[in-house]
Amino acid sequence: MTRLSLFLLMIAFVFVYKISSIDCKSPIIFIPGSFCSLLEVRIDTALQPACSASLHNQWVLLWLNLRFFEPSNLACLHNIFKFVYNSSSNSFENPLGVETRIVPNSIYGSFLTGILWEYFELDKFLFHFVTKYDYQDGVNLHSIPYDFRRGSNATLLSFNENLKQLIELTYVRNMNTSVYLVSHSTGGSMSLFFLSQQTQIWKDQYIQGWISLSGNIAGEIDNIQNLVQGFLSPFVPRDVIQTWDFFAWRLPEPMIYGSQRTIITSPSKNYTSYDMLNFLHDVNAKELAFIYPEVSSILGYLPAPNVDTYCFFGANVSTPIGYISKSDEFKNNHLETIYGWGDGEQDDTTNMSCKLWNKTMDFKYKLILKGFNGVKHTKLVGNDNVLEEIDKIISF
């Protein structure tokens, strides 16, 4: 072999190696938390007279559309953002004249499509992987939105179908390279349910690992305040919140919170995680109470994901760990907050609940828990120290 041919062979080897190293990076799919997916709505204003006729029969942004926050449009927002209970099917549905959908993010779509990225610091997350590791937006870096109001089996299974398709297409498009799931907050619940529904053979082929950032794995105490007081009330008041089956799905899980810890205190009652059904009745969320026995069992046993799992969470931040009501009927919509430790929104109990899998997960899969001192819930995704830890996982 001549020196020239040897030189050309070496150049070709280096070229192929570089191309392969770029193309074979493990793809990342991000699953966001509550209130961080964009929703659209189409309204028949003849059936929803509180809504302006200019909105009739066209798809417009529902969440987060600041136009609906104007005082003249609040009645319309409340009517179209809530669900209506169907006693025949024991489920919640859109009101008459209202259709809703997520803003879809396809295999070729931008990472930020359909996501309220300003809240999550996802622009920083995206910039990090694009600039440091040459990830390509919409090629090996994706996200998947969902309707954060929902928590029923039917809607979760629909999400599963969408995520599974995205994973499989991303896998093929990236030279059969398995995928990292990165989730935040309620995205952790969505990810765990998804993984619990897949076969082990499928997970071993398509999932490189799951990185859960402050995963709402065991429900959330903060959700109780929303049920009583609403979210950003008067924009999303309690009578709207109490029609979202999400709030029956993601109340504190008895398996983790137990029967000894009091979460809510009223003049004559103490409520533990085992008393959430009674609490829903007492707060007048009676329709949520009807579906609670079914939807609360969806993740009730906290199935082990059986993939390499990394549970990261904010720590040592003052966080609600319980509430006191001055009324047994919760009529004044005011709760006194009891504070402990967590990430500012989720307490240590739910953030660290994945340690349960030390006993239940197949030993061949990694399980790593790590807290980040002083990092708040909404800042975790873009935190430099968190991103450095993710770097250590995905770079090999």
Is 90 exceeded by the pLDDT of residue 106?
no
C-alpha separations of 393 from 131, 386, 396 in Å: 17, 11, 8
Domain 26-38+103-394 = CATH 3.40.50.1820: yes
Q: Is the peptide bond before 64 cis (omega within 30 degrees of 0)?
A: yes
Average pLDDT estimate for 267-292: 96
Q: What percent of the chain has pLDDT over 90?
A: 87
- Report the alpha-carbon distance of residue 203 to residue 182 in Å, rounded: 15
Average pLDDT estimate for 78-97: 97
- Report the alpha-carbon distance of residue 280 to residue 265 in Å, rounded: 14
Residue type, 153: N
Quick one: the chain helix, strand, coil %, rounded to 5?
A: 40, 20, 40
Contacts of 351 (CB under 8 A, 6+ apart): 214, 215, 311, 313, 314, 315, 342, 343, 371
Integer Rg of the chain from CA: 23
Contacts of 370 (CB under 8 A, 6+ apart): 310, 311, 312, 313, 389
Domain parsing of the chain, residue ranges: 26-38+103-394
- Report the alpha-carbon distance of residue 3 to residue 112 in Å, rounded: 50
Is 90 exceeded by the pLDDT of residue 118?
no
- Read off the pLDDT of residues 329-354 as tens digits, 9 standing for 90 and up: 887 778 999 999 999 999 999 999 99
Average pLDDT estimate for 1-14: 44
- Read off the pLDDT of residues 61-76 as tens digits, 9 standing for 90 and up: 999 999 999 999 999 9
CB 28 within 8 A of CB 49: no
What is the predicted pLDDT for the residue at 119? 75
What is the predicted pLDDT for the residue at 10? 43
CB 243 within 8 A of CB 84: yes
Of 196, 349, 350, 324, nearest to 269 by C-alpha is 324
